[in-house]
Amino acid sequence: MTKELLLAFGLIAAIPLIPAGASAQGARQTIAKYKVDVTNVSTGYRGSKLVGATVVNEANEKIGSVDDLIVTRSDKVVYAIVSVGGFLGVGDKLVAVPFDGFQLAPDKTMLPGATKEALMNMPKFTYQK
């Protein structure tokens, strides 16, 4: 019994000495290295905080709200899906607006030059199933 306990404790003590990749199966994998300026990233806007934000124009008129953010696969352009019209999500219309047209501030999501009517005249956005 004592030998089994010593062997078990010895194996447990040796676990930290096993190289990290030794337990992985198959070929080694590498991850491309990217240089990220975390200070710059930390001053950005979180998508989770933008979704649901009220969208206003430069006259501070409410013209819609951010329903979602979409990144295309091919050209990596970010679009804001804006909900316009309707009341409490009923009767609203979704439109896709290039995200670079927005001006963001900590307390405001602004789409300069836009009106509710202009957004309503845009093609309707529908999610692909």
Among residues 80, 115, 78, the alpha carbon closest in space to that of 94 is found at 80
HSE toward the beta carbon, residue 16, CA cutoff 13 A: 2
Tell me the pLDDT of the chain (129 aa) as tens digits: 555 544 445 545 555 555 555 555 677 777 777 788 888 888 888 888 899 999 999 999 999 999 999 998 888 889 999 999 876 667 789 999 999 999 998 889 999 999 999 999 999 999 988
Count of the separate structural domains present in the chain: 1
C-alpha angle with apex 73: 69 to 78, nearest 5 degrees? 30
Range of the domain at 98: 46-120
pLDDT score at 95:
97
Asked whether residue 69 is domain-assigned, the answer is yes
Domain with residue 95: its CATH number is 2.30.30.240
Q: Does some domain include residue 34?
A: no
Does some domain include residue 39?
no
Q: Which of 113, 110, 108, 84 is nearest to 96 (CA)?
A: 84
